[in-house]
Structure 1
Amino acid sequence: MTSSDRVGLITVSYNSARDLERFWAGRPFGPYRWTVVDNHSSDDSRRVARRLGAQVVALGSNRGFSAANNVGVAATDCDVLIFCNPDVTVTPDGVAALADGARRHGGLVAPQLVNADGSPQENGRGLPFPTRKLRHLLRRSDPAYLRFARPGELVEVVWAMGAALAVTRSDLAALGGWDDGFFVYYEDSDLGLRAWRYGMGVRLDGDVRWRHGWGRETARGFSATAWRHELASAARFYRKHPHCLVPVGPRARALGRVDAVRTRSEARHA
């Protein structure tokens, strides 16, 4: 088995045909295996994904983001798993770097996501206090919440957006996989906090800069369905992690130490 065979990409699609065509045409994943788990799309997502080179797992209903990710994990035997959204353009060098980081450091490793013009997106985050979440939804800048990694930096964050995340299979298994109680939203916050709880950590790799279209529904205006999922996931998240609602106790103190160090980075070639 070659090194590329030991790394697999997993993408969850739901009516994502246009994004798959836009971001994945030309096999940007190079020699790596790519699995698309389709959440019962009504468009051509499955056909497009197969044409672009993916192994497609077609679900009979929309089971949500977390559950579909877990299906993707079961559908591949790769040692390192990289979860990446349909609106992310990966690169072979970036895949190799993230896989190496996941093996070397353990826990979760994310690229620094960027916009089409190369400007960084805030895919690294601090502690998800409700006040921080509200300010972010209201488009108010909060440097205490938003984290970035410059080229040459490997930056510790409390959690990273699930649009692109690398983890070894063994670490994901130790974490119990994605929590499929989250249909969509907050599942990445939950995974990051669980990684810290188990002593694994979450990092942004500033040398891997992947373009991300970022089409979150709650950011585009009112959608009753999207907000229903948002609120249900928020309720589940704060029940699981009450120290993010009332920051007291040993877990709050441990995460507070990570949250307080906003510029911590590690030497890339140590």
Structure 2
Amino acid sequence: MTSPDAVSLITVSYNSARALERFWAGHRFVPYEWTVVDNGSSDDSREVARRLGAQVVALDSNQGFSAANNVGASATDGEVLIFCNPDVTVTPDGIATLADQVRQTGGIVAPQLVNADGSLQENGRGIPYLHRKVRHLLGWDDPGYVRLAKASEVIDVAWVMGAALAITREDFLRIGGWDPGYFLYYEDHDLGLRMRSAGLPVRINGDVRWAHGWRRETRRNLTVAAWRNEFRSAARFYRQHPYCLVPLPGRAADQVRRLDVV
């Protein structure tokens, strides 16, 4: 199994004190190193994280999710990086499984996230064509988009939610880390497609199941700030990955379509 010294857990917090208390207090992640990068919180996120056993990197202002994740990677030494949100409950055996798998296969390996009732959460996705994104936001099913890993399954996907994923430091540096041009939203889409474009897999391991208290503001609350971030990130993503606008014929579209395994 992977040595604890070879793994670094990285969590970005922003006014996340309550989430840290709920999902990390009383749960074992030791002996793995845990670093919390705090994005200028106004609550006591930093104090809570330290009390729970984290090394805290305190930023003066909110730099965004991607930039803060990159800070966390630079502040740690692990051979394997596991990025995990404040509202995810990690487990030592799950950490070891993800780390061992990603060292063997490269690319990205994520757990199958689950809701509080144990039901599977949709953290694996197919190619984010614009029409799929719109249908999904409207609550319409698209079996080619949402991917779920059953127990004993390891499935290939185009991208995984950034709430929890493992990647070797070598591959992380190879693709240039998280794109800091994304303040929030779509950064995980971009990370997954860049990994796949580099010829490396993006997978979900159905035997690792971590609880995630998912709260997507653009689906549950009509806040102006959330929608502004959504549209800005979407515009950046589709400029960078125009073959995801619509599945039209063409070399670029054909290349990405081969990644869209159903």
Partner of 1:254: 255
Partner of 2:93: 93
CA contact (8 A) 2:27 2:91 kept: no
Q: Which amino acid aligns with 2:147?
A: R
Range 235-244 or range 214-223, more displaced:
214-223
CA distance in 2, matches of 1:37, 1:231: 25
Give structure 2 stretches of 5+ with no counterpart. Answer: none
Partner of 2:44: 44
CA contact (8 A) 2:114 2:121 kept: yes
| CA deviation profile, 1:19-54 (whole Å, cap 9, x unmatched) | 000000124312100000000000010000000000
Partner of 1:160: 160
CA distance in 2, matches of 1:89, 1:53: 14
Q: Matched residue pairs, number? A: 260
Q: Which amino acid aligns with 1:171?
A: D
Question: Is it true that 1:169 corresponds to 2:199 in the alignment?
Answer: no
Q: Where in structure 2 are the equivalents of 1:10-21 lying within 5 Å?
A: 10-21=10-21
Does the residue aligned with 2:259 lie in a helix, a strand or coil? helix
Partner of 2:26: 26
CA contact (8 A) 1:89 1:212 kept: yes
CA distance in 2, matches of 1:88, 1:4: 19
Partner of 1:83: 83
| CA deviation profile, 1:146-191 (whole Å, cap 9, x unmatched) | 0010111110000000000100000000000000000000000000
C-alpha displacement at 1:136, in angstroms? 1.1
C-alpha displacement at 1:250, in angstroms? 3.2
| CA deviation profile, 1:173-221 (whole Å, cap 9, x unmatched) | 0000000000000000000000010001200000000000001211212
Does the residue aligned with 2:190 lie in a helix, a strand or coil? helix
Identity of aligned residues (%): 68
Q: Which runs of 4+ in 1 moved over 2 A?
A: 246-252
Partner of 1:220: 220
CA distance in 2, matches of 1:28, 1:249: 49
C-alpha displacement at 1:101, in angstroms? 1.2
TM-score, length of structure 2 as denominator length: 0.97
Does the residue aligned with 1:88 lie in a helix, a strand or coil? coil
CA contact (8 A) 1:128 1:244 kept: yes
Q: Which amino acid aligns with 2:257?
A: G
CA distance in 2, matches of 1:27, 1:186: 29
Partner of 2:209: 209
CA distance in 2, matches of 1:11, 1:217: 19
CA contact (8 A) 1:30 1:91 kept: no
TM-score, length of structure 1 as denominator length: 0.94
| CA deviation profile, 1:224-244 (whole Å, cap 9, x unmatched) | 000000000000000000010
Does the residue aligned with 1:258 lie in a helix, a strand or coil? coil
CA distance in 2, matches of 1:207, 1:187: 25
Does the residue aligned with 2:258 lie in a helix, a strand or coil? helix
Does the residue aligned with 1:207 lie in a helix, a strand or coil? strand
Question: Once superposed, what is the RMSD of the aligned Cα atoms?
Answer: 1.1
Partner of 1:138: 138
